[in-house]
């Protein structure tokens, strides 16, 4: 016999896998060697920094910092919302060191909010395990149902 807790855990896991599918299917992510893992209130994006996104001084351009940290924070929050797509309303980013070519990780962790507005902290870790940036994002519910989005599927 399946217990309600087992059904709830299975439903949450299906939601997380569907969000991971949504990430993989987003056209912008075809530009990056990256993948996402989602848990309740947490998301980790593993990606590779290469010269294509370097600025003139030979390190990653800030757009990469923002993109990966925004995505990690976004998915950490959207892991808690099963019916609607969230939208970024603000993101505060602090650069702490240059991000060079190689593997890197963006981690997002839900911090507060469970109704209309959500807040998550994010950080970017370089190949040496050092923090390259940190930030905080604010997200709000949209009118877009998750089930209407191409890619949101278990």
Q: Are 21 and 38 in contact (CB under 8 A)?
A: no
Q: Are 124 and 132 in contact (CB under 8 A)?
A: yes
**Nearest-angstrom CA–CA distance, 15 and 79:** 7
User: 4-148, superfamily in CATH?
Assistant: Hotdog Thioesterase (3.10.129.10)
* Model confidence pLDDT, tens digit, residues 33-87: 999 999 999 999 999 999 999 999 999 999 999 999 999 999 999 999 999 999 9
Phi first, then psi, for residue 150 (nearest 5°) are -60, 125
What integer is the mean pLDDT of 21-32? Answer: 96
pLDDT, residue 8, reads 75
Looking at per-residue pLDDT, the higher value among 53 and 10 belongs to 53
Per-residue pLDDT band at 109 (split at 50, 70, 90): very high
Per-residue pLDDT band at 130 (split at 50, 70, 90): very high
Per-residue pLDDT band at 154 (split at 50, 70, 90): low
Question: What is the β-pairing status of strands 84-95 and 42-49?
Answer: unpaired
Model confidence at 1: pLDDT above 80: no
Characterize 137-147 residue by residue with b for buried, 16 or more Cβ atoms within 10 angstroms of its Cβ, and e for exposed: bbbbbeeeebe
Per-residue pLDDT band at 88 (split at 50, 70, 90): very high
Looking at per-residue pLDDT, the higher value among 4 and 88 belongs to 88
Give Cα 103 distance to the centre of its chain: 16
pLDDT, residue 3, reads 61
Domain range list for the chain: 4-148
The two tokens of residue 61 are 């351009």
pLDDT, residue 81, reads 97
Model confidence at 2: pLDDT above 60: no
Tell me how far apart the terminal alpha carbons of the chain are, to the nearest angstrom.
23
């Amino acid at each position: 016999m399946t217990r309600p807790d087992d059904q709830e855990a299975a439903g949450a896991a299906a939601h997380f896998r569907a969000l991971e599918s949504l990430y993989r299917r987003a056209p912008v992510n075809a530009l990056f060697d990256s993948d996402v893992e989602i848990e309740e209130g947490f998301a980790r994006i593993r990606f590779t920094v290469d010269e294509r996104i370097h600025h003139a001084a030979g390190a990653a351009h800030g757009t990469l910092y923002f993109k990966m940290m925004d995505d990690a924070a976004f998915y950490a929050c959207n892991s808690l919302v099963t019916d609607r797509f969230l939208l970024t309303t603000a993101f505060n980013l602090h650069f702490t060191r240059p991000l060079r070519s190689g593997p890197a990780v963006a981690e997002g962790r839900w911090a507060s909010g469970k109704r209309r507005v959500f807040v998550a902290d994010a950080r970017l870790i370089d190949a040496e395990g050092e923090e390259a940036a940190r930030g905080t994002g604010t997200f709000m519910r949209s009118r877009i149902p998750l089930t209407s989005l191409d890619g949101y599927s278990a």
